[in-house]
Amino acid sequence: MALSGGVDSSVAAAELLHAGHEVVGITMRLWGGDSDTGCCSVADVDDARRVAQQLGIDHLVFNFTDDFHEHVVDPYVQAHRDGITPNPCIECNRHLKFHRLSERADLLGFDAVATGHHARIVQHDGVWRVARGHDPQKDQSYVVHMLPQRELARTLFPIGHLTKAEVRERATALKLRTAAKPDSQDVCFITSTGGRTEFLGTRIPFRRARVVDAVDGTELGEAESLEMITLGQRRGIGLPGGGPKRYVVGIDHATATVRVGDESMLDVDTMRVGDMVWSHEPLEGEVRVQCSAHGATNVATASVVDGEVRLAWHSPQRRVAPGQSVVLYDLTDTFVLGGGIAR
């Protein structure tokens, strides 16, 4: 049982014990630097250890800091250098919280791996699928979309059938020390005091960028750091206040130029999705598509071309920043079909 030191994984461990499983709590030590906003602080590890003591289960700590830097932190920095908007929490799930943890589980002879995600794993038409969690406000199926059949068959999400309120009620009834602990909201290696600017500024050089009108090329201002700008951004792009609302509609890293325009210029009819991971096998046809962790889904027609998924929106949608995760669901908006990275 992956114990993060939060209330969800604490109750998930209790649910497994109640179901009669033999449970060992595992905490992954991922980030060794400053952390005051995420799930990797020293206090979190201590909370996980204390919860394990309360539940009467063994607790182990696995040090995966090198893997975390290789697969999460370094790509995050490189993405900003290259003008891509990364999704580090999904990459952490992909490479660490499931792949590396599953490898270690195999090595030590465990039968199954469990986490405290608000999602469900079900068999649908003979195929294992990630399904949405019972609480629509806390559903995390989007961030665990990358699990293949082998992992789905031996992964457990013990609180997927509970609402967040029910999780806290059970934690309170069990007198778990994490019962009232706030949820982690941000990237664990980005501090609330320094933010992305401080983190990236010590790792890559920032370049100033010209800000121009996307229609006529008129120069409107100058942005301090091209690497901090993403598609659709409206604030912090070096424009004076009081004028019409302008959004970033294009970024040219070769010439350090940011193009801005009306919000409608972000609307597109199609999009490309690469690095696809399918839950079972590639599928074409009508699907529902989610492009952010808690965003709405919209209907599109999917086709597979040269290994990429091409999506044709049924109505124009706001363009998704390259690097963001795009997850496909069935038309009932219940089961994950697969997911990839916006191009």
3-state secondary structure the chain: CECCCCHHHHHHHHHHHHCCCCCEEEEEECCCCCCCCCCCCHHHHHHHHHHHHHHCCEEEEEECHHHHHHHHHHHHHHHHHHCCCCCHHHHHHHHHHHHHHHHHHHHHCCCCEECCCCEEEEEECCEEEEEECCCCCCCCHHHHCCCCHHHHHCEECCCCCCCHHHHHHHHHHCCCCCCCCCCCCCCCCCCCCCHHHHHHHCCCCCCCEEEEECCCCCEEEEECCHHHCCCCCCCCCCCCCCCCCCEEEEEECCCCEEEEECHHHHEEEEEEEEEEEECCCCCCEEEEEECCCCCCEEEEEEEEECCEEEEEEEEEEECCCCCCEEEEECCCCCEEEEEEEEC
Query: Do 232 and 299 lie in a common domain?
Result: no
Cα 157 from Cα 121, distance rounded (Å): 7
Backbone torsions φ then ψ of 285, nearest 5 degrees: 120, -165
User: Does residue 311 sit within a domain?
Assistant: yes
Return the ∠ at Cα 66 (arms to 100 and 193), rounded to 5°. Answer: 110
User: Does residue 197 sit within a domain?
Assistant: no
Average pLDDT along the chain, 343 residues, taken 10 residues at a time: 96 98 96 66 89 98 95 97 94 94 95 98 93 97 96 96 98 97 84 89 96 96 95 91 90 96 97 96 97 95 96 98 97 97 97
Query: Do 108 and 19 lie in a common domain?
Result: yes
Q: Which of 39, 40, 92, 291 is catalytic?
A: 92
pLDDT at 39: 64
Is 92 one of the catalytic residues?
yes
User: Does residue 14 sit within a domain?
Assistant: yes
Query: Do 31 and 49 lie in a common domain?
Result: yes
pLDDT at 43: 85
pLDDT at 35: 60
pLDDT at 125: 85
Asked if 130 and 335 touch (Cβ cutoff 8 Å), the reply is: yes
> Which tokens in the block code for residue 339?
């997911």
Q: What is the dihedral of CA 89, 91, 94, 100, to 10 degrees?
A: -90
Asked if 120 and 156 touch (Cβ cutoff 8 Å), the reply is: no
Range of the domain at 99: 7-116+158-173
Residue carrying the six token digits 């969800």: 8
Query: Do 18 and 97 lie in a common domain?
Result: yes
Strand partners, 327: 290, 339
Cα 312 from Cα 324, distance rounded (Å): 18
User: Does residue 189 sit within a domain?
Assistant: no
Domain of residue 102, CATH code = 3.40.50.620
Beta 219-223 vs 209-213: how paired, if at all?
antiparallel
Q: Which of 39, 40, 89, 188 is catalytic?
A: 188
Cα 151 from Cα 34, distance rounded (Å): 32
Query: Do 43 and 168 lie in a common domain?
Result: yes
Query: Looking at the 3D structure of the chain, how many domains does it have?
Result: 3
Is 188 one of the catalytic residues?
yes
User: Does residue 21 sit within a domain?
Assistant: yes
pLDDT at 36: 57
Cα 308 from Cα 212, distance rounded (Å): 32
User: Does residue 151 sit within a domain?
Assistant: no
User: Does residue 17 sit within a domain?
Assistant: yes
pLDDT at 40: 64
